[in-house]
Structures are given as structure tokens and as C-alpha cells.
Amino acid sequence: MGKPTGFMEFERRLPPSRSPNERIKDWDEFTVHDDEGLLQEQGARCMDCGVPFCHVGSDIDGEAVGCPINNLIPEFNDLVYRGQWQQAYERLNRTNNFPEFTGRVCPAPCESSCVLGIHEPPVTIKSIECAIVDRAFEEGWIQPNPPVQRTGKRVAVVGSGPAGLACAAQLNSVGHSITVFERDDRIGGLLTYGIPNMKLDKTLVDRRVDLLTAEGVEFVTGVEVGGDYPAEKVMKEFDSVVLCGGATKPRDLPVEGRDLNGIHFAMEYLTEATKDLLDGRKPQQGVSAKDKDVIVIGGGDTGTDCVGTALRHGCRSLVQFEILPKPPDCRAEDNPWPEWPNILRVDYGQEEASSLFGQDPREFCLMTTRFVGDADGGVQELRTVEVEWVEEKGRLVPKPKPGTETSHKAQLVLLALGFLGPENQLLDQMGVARDPHSNVDAEFESYATSLPGVFSAGDMRRGQSLIVWAIREGRGAARECDRFLMGETALP
């Protein structure tokens, strides 16, 4: 695949990004595609490696190894190298419903398991994927493709995030009539309100929704199944139901002063910022970081997105606290290839904060112990203590280090501590069985819940995970739902 000697001739090169000081002045996407010649060079780096691990889609200890949706990566790399872009898109479209999303926001576990990555920087799979689908839209290769005939079966998909959209697209393609219910005012779920515009422009989400609408999928916004639309009603009116509501219950930080004003869950903050942008409003008072000292508690993609959003709001200062130790610069011995490398990364938000304030905003091994308020009930200070990680009963736990207590001023604190699972109202109303982690109990690859004809996919079933896993699960749930409805299925 690719040029036989390409990996020896060409260095890994990522697409250019706009300068940090320039891009924090707007909400536009910050990456720019390479020209065609440079993309062909990157495709040429794909080795004839014999056994490619990039598209195996394994799950080791909860971490993705290779592409969960089994993208035909060596094939589309080779086709890009040869300039056969339309054929490259046809290969990509066989496995991925939404490469314009994964090509922008997926952390690319495919690259961490690239065979070339054992001894050289891996192939730039993610940016090649993004370039393929963007070119396909530009050239008009992607057009509505409604089914030739309808089966007469009706399916309700609850939730319009990546799992719900993938499920809807697949079921619609074989002729079922699909209604997607979304409780928010816009379709997209996490894609719309969980990911800031500078990482994923919302016009791309709207474009895909418009395409699905033209293919016959019905979208209903502002309706909460299990709330104003009773679960009993949806189960009676549809032949099957697929639950794709996500894992939206945030992990809290129950320390003294938590009820002070100015302390927000990350998703609350990110959602309000995107709504302000899309509705053409100025940031509402109380959720804007403008002229404030901001502290983000928690790392990961959500923490980074809070950093980038606060910078665009015009914060006065910004730091990001992480209770875990600082990751190493290189793989540890117990973290071998092809596992996801747990190493220190500088994402776009940290790069922007470093450029603006002169240093990386992250501080590691810090535990928040207390919030302190002002006379008006707003947060004004945060107290922390350094921790060291020690082994107790076979697992590592954080222990405070005496004499390391510190105070930090803050008028806005954002909690990016992950999620505990799905919300309870709908699942309790339906009586669906839950697993020990409170997720919907539905076996991987069957996706069937304890209720006949009810399936579940994505974060609502597996817990907080990657968009690419949500797409795989949405596709898989569609396959099993189709089998339930028709007795057999041709869906992959």
C-alpha cells in the first residue's frame, strides 16, 4: 500500500493550523488542509506492512486499538497516493457514515496502532480521512440516496448524537421509516453542543442532517422521550426503539463551597457558549469567562475544550488542574505498541493558552479541597493540596501531601471530570435493565436490552467513550434492529 519506499522518503507532516494568537479571536476551525501533492506524500507513507493493525478495531482494557469502525485505511491511503480520490471516498463510505466528524474530532487510535509508528512517526490517517470526505462534498460525490422502497416498519431513535445518527442512517437505508427524537433545540447531541465550533464547525453537522432528511429520516427536536413524550407512548407507536441518549450525567466535585455561583459543569458551559454563537447572542452573564480568572478542573478533551472556549471569551487568566500525575513524554514499558500511548500531549487549548500566557496551563497531582466565596455568594477562591499516588490493596490512590496547601483566585470554575452514565428518568420509566455501572444492560454486538424490540447503543450502553465507538455501536444496533424487524439483515 502506498509507495513501497514512501515511509523512508517522506516525513510525517500534519496539516497546518492558524496561529494560536490569531485563532482565539474567532470561532472558526483552526486547521487547514494541505494541498493535494502533500496529501499524496502522506498517503505514500503507508507501508506494505503485511498485517495492518490500524483498522482492527480491538478494545484492550477499555482503550481502542485501531479503528473501531474498521475503516479500510491502507486502501484509501493508497488511493490518495495514486490520486484516485473518488475511489478513496467510496472505500471510506463503506464503513464510516460521518468521516467529516471523525476526521476532525476523533483522537485517531488508528494512528497509535500504525505499524510504521513502532519506529517512526505514524501515517497521518486522520487528516487524510478528513481531506477525502471534504473533497467528496466539494466535488458533489455525496448526494441524497433515499431507499427505493419502504418496509412499513417504524423505528424511534432516541438521541441524535453520533450513535443515534449512525443508527438512523443505516436503518433508513434499508427502507424502515425512522423518527429521531432530540430533547434539545438542535440535532446533533454531542456533535452540536459538546464540541466547540473551532473543532467541528456546526455547518458540517447541519449539512449531514439535511442530507439524512433528504433521504427520508424524520427529526423531532424539543421533545424529551420519557418526559413530555411518555416512554409507554413511544413503545406503542413504533415497531422498535433504539436508545442512544448518551452518558450525560456529569461527575461532580462534592467539596465545601460547591454550591457557590460561578461553578459550572463543563458541558453546561460548552453548551451555552455554542448556543450563544449559533443564536448570534453575546455570552450570557454568569457563563462567560470574559475578564475572569478561570480554573478548569479535569483534563481530557472536554477540559481542553473548556480552555479553548474560555480563551475565546477573553478570560484574564487560566489554569487547568489534574489530579493524575503528569504523563511521560514517551511510552512507558507497560504501555507498549499497539496500545493507545498514555503520553503527554499538547492539544489546541494548551497550545493557545501557552501562546497567550507564556506557559502550559496544566498543573498535575492537585486535589481541590474547598471553594471559597465572596460576600455575594460567588466563588472567588479555590483551595488545593498536592497529592502523591500510592498503592493500597492493589490499586493506586491519591494521598494529600502535608504542607502543600495552596489557594488560587477564580471567579469561574469549570468541572470537566467526566460522566457517570445515562440519566435515569427515561430508563426508569421504561424499566430497562441496567449494568453495575448504571448503563443500559445490552450485550456488545447484540445491543438488545431486557425489553423485546428495544435496543441501545453508544455511551448510553457502553459508558463515556469516543465518537468513533458511538458510530460503530449505532451501526451495530441498526443491524440487530433490522434483524429483529425482518428476520434477517443485509446491514454490516
**Co-location of 424 and 397 in the same domain:** no
Q: 491 in a domain, yes or no?
A: no
Q: 149 in a domain, yes or no?
A: no
**Co-location of 55 and 187 in the same domain:** no
Domain boundary among 371, 389, 417: 417
Q: Please report, rounded to a whole number, the percentage of residues in the chain having pLDDT higher than 90.
A: 92
How many independent structural domains does the chain possess? 3
Q: 144 in a domain, yes or no?
A: no
Does pLDDT of 390 surpass 90?
yes
> Model-level pTM?
0.95
Q: 289 in a domain, yes or no?
A: yes
Q: Give the span between the Cα atoms of 288 and 306, in whole angstroms.
A: 11
Q: 479 in a domain, yes or no?
A: yes
What letters, b where the CB count within 10 A reaches 16 and e where it falls short, cover 117-145? beeeebbbbbbbbbbbbbbbeeeeebeee
CATH number at residue 360: 3.50.50.60
Does pLDDT of 311 surpass 90?
yes
**Co-location of 127 and 33 in the same domain:** yes
Does pLDDT of 64 surpass 80?
no
Q: Give the span between the Cα atoms of 156 and 175, in whole angstroms.
A: 14
State the angle between helix axes of 300-313 and 266-279 in degrees (0 to 180), rounded to the nearest 10: 50
Domain extent, residue 378, equals: 252-417
Strands 293-297 and 317-322: parallel
**Co-location of 350 and 441 in the same domain:** no
The per-residue pLDDT for range 318-377, each reduced to its tens digit, is: 999 999 999 999 999 989 999 899 999 999 999 999 999 999 999 999 999 999 999 999
Confidence of residue 285 (pLDDT cuts 50, 70, 90): low
Q: Give the span between the Cα atoms of 42 and 104, in whole angstroms.
A: 17
- Radius of gyration for the chain, computed over Cα atoms and rounded to the nearest angstrom: 23
**Co-location of 351 and 275 in the same domain:** yes
**Co-location of 14 and 123 in the same domain:** yes
Q: What is the mean pLDDT of the chain?
A: 95
Mean pLDDT for 79-107 is 97
Confidence of residue 14 (pLDDT cuts 50, 70, 90): very high
Mean pLDDT for 14-43 is 94
Confidence of residue 184 (pLDDT cuts 50, 70, 90): very high
Mean pLDDT for 399-418 is 97
**Co-location of 242 and 261 in the same domain:** no
Lowest mean pLDDT of 49-58, 403-412, 442-451, name the range.
49-58
The per-residue pLDDT for range 461-483, each reduced to its tens digit, is: 999 999 999 999 999 999 999 99
CA atoms within 13 A on the CB side of 333: 0
The per-residue pLDDT for range 211-266, each reduced to its tens digit, is: 999 999 999 999 999 999 999 999 999 999 999 999 999 999 999 999 999 999 99
Return the pLDDT at 391.
92
**Co-location of 284 and 410 in the same domain:** yes
Residue 187's nearest CA partner among 221, 164, 211 is 221
The per-residue pLDDT for range 361-381, each reduced to its tens digit, is: 999 999 999 999 999 999 999
**Co-location of 233 and 261 in the same domain:** no
CB 143 within 8 A of CB 89: no
Does pLDDT of 39 surpass 80?
yes
**Co-location of 271 and 407 in the same domain:** yes
Domain boundary among 364, 387, 417: 417
Return the pLDDT at 62.
66
Q: Give the span between the Cα atoms of 384 and 217, in whole angstroms.
A: 50
Domain boundary among 361, 396, 417: 417
Q: 111 in a domain, yes or no?
A: yes
**Co-location of 406 and 444 in the same domain:** no
**Co-location of 273 and 349 in the same domain:** yes
Q: 148 in a domain, yes or no?
A: no
CATH number at residue 56: 1.10.1060.10
Q: Give the span between the Cα atoms of 392 and 148, in whole angstroms.
A: 61
User: CA quadruple 236, 238, 240, 243: dihedral positive or negative?
Assistant: negative
Q: 428 in a domain, yes or no?
A: yes
Mean pLDDT for 185-208 is 97
